[in-house]
Chains A and B, each alone.
Chain A
Amino acid sequence: MSQNGSEPRKHTIAVLVENKFGVLSRVAGLFSARGYNIESLSVGETLDPSMSRMTLVVRGDEFVIEQVTKQLHKLIDVIKVSDLTEEDHVEREMVLVRVNAEPAYRAEILRIADIFRAKVVDVTPLTYTLEGTGEESKTGALLDLLRPFGIQELVRTGKIAIARSPKTKVRKVEERVGKAREAIKDPAKEQKITGFVD
């Protein structure tokens, strides 16, 4: 039931955390303790090895998502939480699928793989193992088309996502560019410009 009338929908939440033991169970525990379901979760180290980045997919109305975000923030080991659903972002997941491939159907399976730019990563006399990446809708469609042949086993990574270009950063850079231009017009100001490059 929604408290504020908004419909439950999927949210992709990026969580930057300290790369320490126990952090994953803190995050997972937060969800299980409140009965919220995580649809997918993927974790990996970031450029800075002292931090990890989690991508969570959660279904909920605005009220639930607001609480999820606040509760994540409350965890001592969480550095940053952003709901990517609210901004421009790119998302991918990868699936590995082993599908029945009897001689008569091999060509067709390859055609389907080709259309989805999926790769054959393993072959046996009676099976293909395909690697497909893309947005959920794309991997979903690939699986729908493979299903009639008989999927033996399926593994998905869960979604990972990245913001296209954080708005605030763009604004800051624009400001700095603006200041730099002014400074060129007025050399007196030039001294004051520092830290143009992060």
Chain B
Amino acid sequence: MKLSGARIFLECLKREGVDVVFGLPGGAVLPVYDAMYDFRGLTHILVRQEAGAGHAAEGYARVSGKVGVALVTSGPAATNLVTALQDAYMDSIPIVAFTGQVPTHLIGNDAFQEADNVGITRSCTKHNFLVKDPRDMAETIKEAFYIAGTGRPGPVHVDLPKDVLLKEAEFHYPEKVHLRSYNPTYEGHPGQIKRAAQTIFRAKRPVLYVGGGVISSDAAPELLALAELTQIPVTTTVMALGAFPSDHLLSMGMLGMHGSYWANMAVYNSDCLIAVGARFDDRVTGKIEHFSPNSEIIHIDIDPSSISKNIKVHIPIVGDAKRVLARLVQEMAQEQGGQLPDIQRAIREQWLRQIAEWRQKHPFQYDWDDAVIKPQYVMEEISNLIRGEALVVTGVGQHQMWAAQYVKFKHPRHWCTSGGLGTMGYGLPAALGAQAAFPDKLVVNIDGDGSFVMNSQELATLAEHQLPVKTVIINNGYHGMVRQWQEIIYGGRFCAIDLSASPDFVKLADAYGCVGIRATKPSEVVPALEKAFATPGPVVVDMVVDREECVFPMVPAGGANKDMILTHPNKEQKAKAAKSQTGF
């Protein structure tokens, strides 16, 4: 059967199991939209800016475990999408982004709305394709989805010239993909796993350091099994929140720049660090020499290039986190005969007691104020209300770190945040995507006043589709994280941070056809949240918070994690922080 390239495109999406496409039409991609006119079985959500399509696809992918899809036109649409592609690349989120392109005979001619799409996205995708013939369409799409969703997941971009979409070709949907040059390793090397098991068995102060890979490979049950069997405390990166239950006795929360003091101290004092699906990012390690100087490092990762990239690893295991952890549990169970021997148990109890002491000494804390809302308090109340059952999405900035510190998680895939790239404006469109994946779930977008306005146009999309995302803006009228750095590290020389000229967010919500609620006093926080969560449809809560609250603890960039600044720093600490500016 002969079909147009555009129709083949839609048929392929359907066969890949795609149910939602986030997109925005335009000249070059119009043949696809024309074919969509009478095509059944795909929901198209019209975003208001192309970056929104990319972030929505990311949010959708993160919470559902499926590959997210964005569809936009050529030129400016493709360049708008670039930030989302890089974001997905840094956080290993599987999305396939399709862009229109000028007809093949005009490529390179500076045609209207032309950009070198594949040239631009080459360095911010796992792989990209330019389809030059409709006969290649089906195979290319199959490969694109396969590459995005397997191995270390990531974004794949497919460029679709207009003439290729119009021309007809025979449609054969390939059942299988074979790429001789792409064969991810899933099974860990048995010898290495055995070595790892023996090392863990010998360890006195082991720590599990867990990254987003555990979420990607759905390895939370195996992680829990390993941690409980061996009584090893677990710290997660910002990407892995939810991989381990926050209330578990072995949970130490997040580590790194704004992580918990006890997690950072545990890693620093550890003699055996088991990194799983994590990549030793500079925001996690701080000054690398002082990260975990005396530990034997076991690193489990599906991407060989992550191993020994930033820090020398003693026992590398290339493989899928789920399978390797399962094998490791087996191996440990054999080694231990099902449970920890008494002598080991005693040593482990001592280690856990030490961590509990650190925790008691410097817990997450803030000063209560009767008159002003403390942002941390908002996080605590959100956490109390959702009880780990809602999907939580954030923007980027102080609010993101407070959310990471104070919101408690029960399940994986309940947290979407821009970890690697730190894309402000990620929150609203990602929440849109998450809600599209689970229309009946409560989705809470915790955003900042600076971050929110970067993609606030997507309120229109939410209103149009009645996607009931609850946005809570932590509004301090500043680019708060920048303000915090200028205060602590740049000697209080505040520059270009004041956002007091922001719009009235309640009126803004109203203008978009959403519900707006404001809270300005601590006593109004819970009623405002309760009302927001009970109101059908999209809601925006404007939480007017303490303008000058800072995120603590904090490791100044380039500093050592063990030297965290725990509360508001004195002069001497500020001077030291200013000097530590070897990082960024």
Contacts and interface: CB of A to CB of B under 8 A. Distances in A.
Interface residues on B, range: 10 to 19
Interface in B292-316: 303-305, 308-309, 312
Interface in A70-104: 70-71, 73-74, 76-79
Given A22-B118, A29-B123, A76 B308 contact: no
B312 to A, nearest CB: 7
Contact of B308 (A22, A25, A66): A66
Given A67-B305, A67-B309, A70-B304, A76 B179 contact: yes
B337 interface: no
A60 B47 CA distance: 46
B62 interface: no
Interface of A: 3-4, 17-18, 21-22, 25-26, 29, 33, 66-67, 70-71, 73-74, 76-79
Interface of B: 118-119, 122-123, 126-127, 130, 147, 179-182, 303-305, 308-309, 312
Contacts of B309: 67
A76 B147 CA distance: 8
Contacts of B180: 79
Contacts of A22: 118, 122, 130
Nearest to B132: A21
27 contacts: A3-B312, A4-B312, A17-B181, A21-B130, A22-B118, A22-B122, A22-B130, A25-B119, A29-B122, A29-B123, A66-B308, A67-B309, A70-B305, A71-B305, A73-B304, A74-B303, A74-B304, A74-B305, A76-B126, A76-B127, A76-B147, A76-B179, A76-B181, A77-B127, A78-B181, A79-B180, A79-B181
Given A22-B130, A26-B122, A76-B181, 16 more contacts: A4-B312, A17-B181, A18-B181, A21-B130, A22-B118, A29-B123, A33-B123, A66-B308, A67-B305, A67-B309, A70-B304, A73-B305, A74-B305, A76-B127, A76-B147, A76-B179
The 8 closest A-B pairs by CB, nearest first: A70-B305, A79-B181, A76-B127, A76-B182, A70-B304, A74-B305, A71-B305, A29-B123
Nearest to B143: A76
Contacts of B147: 76
Contacts of A78: 181
Contacts of B126: 76
B181 A25 contact: no
A4 B308 CA distance: 11
